């Protein structure tokens, strides 16, 4: 592994609103795969969805914009996002958990 691939751009998002039971995680996975991102989307016990995505900065920005819309049945009221540090081999693909 080359030294410039030891770290990669990554973000963690917490999405609030009507985001569980509306195909949000699967739709997020589809978007992330199309954008070439890796990471995961999972439901949280408090009703939010957590998304961690890693990859190209422009793709991360596109996913973040999409998270504000979500799939048609969703009603997103808030997206909180933070940058995180991950290794380039932290995630092999994008998964729903």
Give the domain range for residue 31: 10-84
Residue 29 annotated among the catalytic residues of the structure: no
Q: What are the tens digits of pLDDT across the range 16-59? A: 999 999 999 999 999 999 999 999 999 999 999 999 999 999 99
pLDDT at 3 over 60: no
Query: Which of the following is catalytic: 12, 18, 43, 95?
Result: 43
Q: Is 17 a member of any domain?
A: yes
The answer to whether position 37 is within a domain reads yes
Is the predicted pLDDT of residue 69 greater than 90, yes or no?
yes
Angle at 26 between CA 24 and CA 30, to 5 degrees: 110
Catalytic site residue from 25, 29, 48, 69: 25
C-beta separation of 8 from 88 below 8 A? yes
Active site residue 4: no
24 assigned to some structural domain: yes
Considering its fold, how many domains does the chain have in total? Answer: 1
- CATH number of the domain residue 69 falls in: 3.30.70.100
Query: Is 5 part of any domain?
Result: no
């Amino acid at each position: 592994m080359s030294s410039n691939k030891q770290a990669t751009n990554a973000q963690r998002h917490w999405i609030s609103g009507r985001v569980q039971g509306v195909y949000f995680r699967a739709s997020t996975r589809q978007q992330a795969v199309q954008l070439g991102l890796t990471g995961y989307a999972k439901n949280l016990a408090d009703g939010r969805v957590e998304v961690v995505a890693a990859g190209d900065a422009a793709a991360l920005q596109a996913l973040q914009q999409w998270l504000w819309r979500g799939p048609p049945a969703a009603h997103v009221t808030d997206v909180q996002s933070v940058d995180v540090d991950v290794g380039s081999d932290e995630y092999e693909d994008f998964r729903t958990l």
